[in-house]
């Protein structure tokens, strides 16, 4: 997590459009974040990325 208030370049880029959530560099939420949708997007990433596979509990997919 990055606090844009600590970076003038990010304040200039995002201004009032906070919160902004990026996953793999892609904006997936602006202004409002749905917990359910965010979890689904993270799960989608974890299924396509081997780095997340190491953190999954055994027996779950």
| 36 within domain boundaries | yes
| Token pair listed for 48 | 């396509």
| 59 within domain boundaries | no
What is the pLDDT at residue 49? Answer: 60
What pTM was estimated for this model as a whole? Answer: 0.58
| 60 within domain boundaries | no
> In 1-61, which ranges are continuous DSSP H helix?
8-14, 35-48, 50-53
| 8 within domain boundaries | yes
| 23 within domain boundaries | yes
Task: Specify the higher pLDDT residue, 36 or 18.
Answer: 36
| 46 within domain boundaries | yes
pLDDT classification of 36: cutoffs 50, 70, 90? very high
| 58 within domain boundaries | no
Number of domains forming the structure of the chain: 1
Tell me the per-residue pLDDT of 17-32, one tens digit each, with 9 for 90 and over: 888 888 888 899 999 9
Q: Range of 14's domain?
A: 4-53
| 61 within domain boundaries | no
Is the pLDDT reported for residue 54 higher than 70? Answer: no
| Token pair listed for 5 | 């208030």
């Amino acid at each position: 997590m990055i606090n844009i208030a600590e970076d003038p370049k990010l304040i200039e880029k995002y201004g009032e459009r906070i919160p902004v959530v990026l996953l793999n560099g892609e904006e997936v939420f602006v202004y409002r974040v749905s917990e359910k949708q965010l979890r689904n997007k993270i799960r989608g990433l974890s299924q396509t990325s081997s780095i997340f596979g190491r953190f999954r509990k055994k027996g779950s997919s």
